[in-house]
Structure 1
Amino acid sequence: GRAQRRRRYAGALSGRAAPVRASLLDCWRDYRAFKRLPAEPRRIVLFSESGQDWHHFEPIVAELCGRMGRTICYVSSDPADRGLHQQSERILPFCIGDGFFRILWFQTLDAGVMLTQLLDLGNFDLKRSVHPVHYVYMFHSLISTHMADHANSYDHYDTILCAGPHQAREIRRREELMGLPPKRLVPHGYARVEQLMRERRDPPPPHGRDDTHVLLAPSWGPNTILNRFGGELVELLMTAGYRLTLRPHFQTRWQTPEVIDRIAGRWREHPRFALVEDMAESDSLFDSHLMITDWSGAGMDYGLGLEKPVLYFDLPPKSRNDRWQELGIEPFEMRVRDSLGALLKPEQLADTPAVIDRLLAEPERFRADMQRLREEWIYNLGGSGRAAAEAVAAIADELDWPREVPA
């Protein structure tokens, strides 16, 4: 039963520096348990690729299983996913791992509607089911659809929950250019910014560099801050006298751990330096005065959610679509950088302390700017969980489910 499955997952919840994988036997057990479910609990299925998805799913699950009284299946590849450990009779948890049983589960899924943040459905090993499942995609950041992701990353979903109007405009433009059937686009919103707004606590105003807390939170990959000049930037900030927290992307720990270890080895014992590798941790976001990043979506969350400035380094964009210009729309993550703070080229690295001091000089004006930007670019502020839950439930109720079997 579900209690036995939760006990099997429990060991994976402890802190981890590397991904924890479910055993093949456990994946088979959960795959089989899901297949044996009666039809009604399979009306609404949520699939989570990683435990990092839970803070996006949580407000939707709370609405579906709380106020709306729905029962859902929560299926994850990650045994440490907190969605598998919720103490609710209305959440049926299953962990199918990230290997053979996940591929098989996708191919044979018999359900009404699936809500997921899994990108590129149908483009690689995870395909649409042989059964007519209705697939709903939900964004996990505010970035645009047409530069950081593949050109066809969103083509194979039936419905897309859009965080803001820019995403809806980009999807419609691609449909128009490529002659694709129109998807259902739902004005959803963005739970992460709402969470930051709700939980926000401001640090004491800084009086000098020694009590100015800088958060360095770059993206991951070869052309990002840590891989290009991370050690040099940390040296500059520490020498200038700032408090510094390094918050690398979890993919950096998995792919190029040496860049983190070199910096940590040099500064770990310094009282003004801290290293945070838990992506669910929020203290460093709340307690800092300014973020430094490159193309990370976290910069938009920080600026719009906490109304604090972001210093961007202008590195080559993360692009998996070489033809993104064909849409004729400037990507949101490119357009918004100047509005969220300041933009420096790598050769201007030495100017970083002066730019930080300037950005922190007028906090009230900056907050007013962020409030205007937020209202313009994010749907349903404060109500995204309800909007998504109601959309998913409405789709599930429209479907022929349980499906009628021909005589």
Structure 2
Amino acid sequence: MRTLLYIDPGTGSMLFSILIGIFAALVFFVQKVILKIKFALSGGRADKAAAAAAEKIPFLIFSDSKRYWNTFKPICDAFEARKQKVTYWTASPDDPALEEKYEYVTAEFIGEGNKAFTRLNFAKAGVLLSTTPGLDVYQWKRSKNVDWYVHVLHAAGDPTMYRMFGLDFYDAVFIAGDFMEDELRKLEELRGITKKELPMAGVPYLDVMKARLDKEGKEEKKEGKFAEGRDVPTVLLAPAWGPSGLLTTLGPEMLEALKATGYNIVVRPHPQSMTSEKELMDKLMKDFPENDSFHWNFDNDNFSVLKKSDIMISDFSGVIYDYTLVFDKPLVFTDMGVGYNRDVYDCCWLEEEPWMIRKLPEIGTPLKKDDIGNVKSIIDEAIASEKFSAAREEARKETWSNIGSASDKIVEYMIEKGEEIAKKKEEERKAKEEEAKKAAGKSSKKKAADKDKPEAEK
């Protein structure tokens, strides 16, 4: 009987990381040898060093999915407005960036999955910006030829809600509120890792969403009517993904209860669910097919579905803050006893619950597991209540700094950091050149002194 060898995904990822590490070390070693040979043949001229530096991409953006284009588009727009060249690498073949007609932004599809990470592991860049966590933890390793890694958050809320060690090996993280600095500094202290730069930037995609809402105007409602002129409210169910997410823990029970309300129900799973939980999603969509009052939504742009709903039900997904901060609409959140497991997130190192979890009871109505059967009355009560309006405004102030100018802050930082690194490298080059001259001078003097010595003394 033939025996099949099984390798679990975690072990497979580790083995791939080891192979990439060995391959990268060999490549860098060969590159180093070649550069030394070229340097020696050129007599060590400085213009060769300058030529090597010129091979680097000054500013590089990496996106692992097209769904983050709402974060990167305003940043690319800011680079374009400054007539500053930037390169955008994406792991999505249908990323909207590839269709944009920029003059100063060059977009390139670099492959999916491990192919993209392999390309990243050999990147040559000055400043690299990404919203992908886990740098130097799994497949994505720091390249020796990238000077500075910067992370931008793709959701309002909390940087400690990434999977373990998500931001540890970035050089800088753009933040949007003082509490974020407090949490990240605590993690650095507990783990004994190097302090990152934490520039206050804001949330680019929220700025764009707000500007779009200001331009289009909020959904107008006639007396006694709901969004889109409906006689019943539109309820948006938008949970997080993973083992703690609402669809994983209570999916069928929650969907049955929502259908029973008779309201217009829209279910918008987290985009990652379609990748990491496809079997679950396929089953739920089969068991709960669409009809006139029950819909599944997978739009890449969530603006329309957020605008056209009257209330959101969620767990601990970051979309909660898109909805409450930008659209200022009522929220029902599932009580954290339902499924939230902080052990897999960075926040498990901290004594206090993450800000975005602590804030939920202040901005929304709780829904406990035992009350799911009574969800209709809880929805009605939440829609009618005005008591959370002031708390939503307070949350807005705490987690959304520099409203309207986040992208400019990010681009300014990247350009200044690039100039700072270039200046430092030039100073180091000049210092080495000066040392080499001094060493050469001493050697010449010694040779001359030896030459003048009488033969008997030599």
TM-score (norm 1): 0.82
- Give the Cα separation in 1 of the matches to 2:55 and 2:390: 48
Name the structure 1 match of 2:378. 355
Residue 55 in structure 1 maps to residue 93 in structure 2:
no
What runs of 5+ residues in structure 1 fail to find an aligned partner? 1-35
Aligned partners of 2:241 and 2:272 also within 8 Å: yes
Aligned partners of 1:192 and 1:301 also within 8 Å: no
Q: CA deviation at 1:227?
A: 2.4
Note the 1:28-177 alignment, pairs <5 A: 39=54, 42-66=57-81, 68-99=82-113, 101-150=115-164, 152-177=165-190
Q: One-letter code of the match for 1:279?
A: N
Aligned partners of 1:165 and 1:378 also within 8 Å: no
More helix, by proportion: 2
Name the structure 1 match of 2:266. 245
Residue 379 in structure 1 maps to residue 401 in structure 2:
yes
- Give the Cα separation in 2 of the matches to 1:43 and 1:402: 15
Name the structure 2 match of 1:202. 219
Q: Give the number of equivalent residue pairs.
A: 370
Q: One-letter code of the match for 2:383?
A: L
| CA 1:106–1:401: 2 relative to 1, 3 Å | farther
Note the 1:142-291 alignment, pairs <5 A: 142-150=156-164, 152-200=165-213, 201-204=218-221, 207=224, 210-265=231-286, 268-291=289-312
Q: CA deviation at 1:236?
A: 2.1
Deviations 1:108-136 (A, max 9, x none): 22211001111111111211112252111
| CA 1:98–1:265: 2 relative to 1, 3 Å | closer
Of 247-256 and 283-292, the range deviating more from structure 2: 247-256
Q: CA deviation at 1:349?
A: 0.6
Q: One-letter code of the match for 1:352?
A: V
**Partner SS for 1:299:** helix
Name the structure 1 match of 2:413. 391
**Partner SS for 1:134:** strand
- Give the Cα separation in 2 of the matches to 1:144 and 1:269: 34
Aligned partners of 2:362 and 2:388 also within 8 Å: no
Question: Which structure has the greater CA radius of gyration?
Answer: 2
Note the 1:20-35 alignment, pairs <5 A: none
Q: One-letter code of the match for 2:342?
A: S
Aligned partners of 2:235 and 2:312 also within 8 Å: yes
**Partner SS for 1:114:** strand
Q: CA deviation at 1:261?
A: 4.2
- Give the Cα separation in 1 of the matches to 2:283 and 2:123: 45
- Give the Cα separation in 2 of the matches to 1:369 and 1:333: 13
- Give the Cα separation in 2 of the matches to 1:102 and 1:320: 29
Q: CA deviation at 1:323?
A: 7.5
- Give the Cα separation in 1 of the matches to 2:151 and 2:345: 23
| CA 1:323–1:291: 2 relative to 1, 3 Å | closer
Name the structure 2 match of 1:24. none
Of 186-195 and 173-182, the range deviating more from structure 2: 173-182
Aligned partners of 2:324 and 2:330 also within 8 Å: yes
Aligned partners of 1:149 and 1:319 also within 8 Å: no
Name the structure 1 match of 2:352. 329
- Give the Cα separation in 2 of the matches to 1:38 and 1:230: 53
| CA 1:392–1:162: 2 relative to 1, 3 Å | same
Q: CA deviation at 1:262?
A: 4.5
Q: One-letter code of the match for 1:359?
A: A
- Give the Cα separation in 1 of the matches to 2:192 and 2:391: 38
**Partner SS for 1:385:** helix
**Partner SS for 1:274:** strand
Of 351-360 and 98-107, the range deviating more from structure 2: 98-107
Name the structure 2 match of 1:312. 333
Of 173-182 and 72-81, the range deviating more from structure 2: 173-182
TM-score (norm 2): 0.74
Aligned partners of 2:162 and 2:345 also within 8 Å: no
Q: One-letter code of the match for 1:293?
A: S
Of 71-80 and 141-150, the range deviating more from structure 2: 141-150
- Give the Cα separation in 2 of the matches to 1:277 and 1:149: 24
- Give the Cα separation in 2 of the matches to 1:213 and 1:206: 16
**Partner SS for 1:360:** helix
